[in-house]
Structure 1
Amino acid sequence: MDSIVKISGLLSKRVEGGGFVKSTGIVRKVDELGRVVIPMELRRVMGIADKDGLEIFVEEEKIVLKKYEPACVFCGSASDVHNYRGKAVCKECAGEMSKFVS
């Protein structure tokens, strides 16, 4: 049975795994090119700026958008990642590589 509660002024629905999905009450139509506009207020609240990348996932019958966080090409970590010649490298891997440079 679904349970609906109010969290931070938004209606939230408990989902499998114990988490909540927040309902914004916003409905957008898909245009003829397949685009959907994410409202400015929602982008501001979620910290999504112009030109930010979004990853697209599919979970069962849901489309999930997640703000893209570059991950280290060597270890996959998304923590303390810097761009080096177009590649994402974390501080730890950069330190490991520096041991091999004389």
Structure 2
Amino acid sequence: MKNIKSAQVKKIDNVGRIQIPKYMKNNLKIKNGDYVEIYENGNEIIIKKHNASCIFCENLDSLTAFRDNFICHECMDKLKGI
């Protein structure tokens, strides 16, 4: 593991959740309701703040949430024309 600034041991609750410490959420500017990305890497689980982008063109502007994904207005207009 590289560039570790802090670490804690947390217990997984009976439905598989862990609580991210408040100071870590504050440092990464993660708010309640934000999306995170979860990766499996060998014997590690990596949790990263999700930077929302359009699932079709990766645009970062004018996004609308739809079923756990984001679609920009331009792509949404193109879909309406199909």
Q: Same fold (TM over 0.5)?
A: yes
Other-structure match for 2:42:
60
Task: Flag the structure with higher strand content.
Answer: 1
Structural mapping, 1:2-41, within 5 Å:
15=1, 20-41=2-23
- In the alignment, the residues of structure 2 paired with residue 25 and residue 85 of structure 1 have an alpha-carbon distance, to the nearest angstrom, of 32
1:43 partnered with 2:28: no
CA deviation vs aligned residue, 1:5-35 (integer Å, no higher than 9, x gap): xxxxxxxxxx5xxxx2305131111111111
2:53/2:63 contact within 8 Å kept = no
Once the two structures are TM-superposed, the CA of residue 72 in structure 1 deviates from its matched residue by 1.7
Counterpart in 2 of 1:88?
71
Largest Rg, 1 or 2: 1
Q: Calculate the aligned-residue CA RMSD, in Å.
A: 2.8
Report the TM-score, using the length of structure 2 for normalisation. 0.69
Percent identical? 23
Higher RCO (C-alpha 8 Å, min separation 6): 2
Q: How does the TM-score come out when normalised to structure 1?
A: 0.58
Query: Partner amino acid for 2:61?
Result: V
Bigger mean CA deviation after superposition, 48-57 or 23-32: 23-32
Give the 3-state SS of the residue equivalent to 1:55 in structure 2. Answer: strand
Q: How many residues align?
A: 75
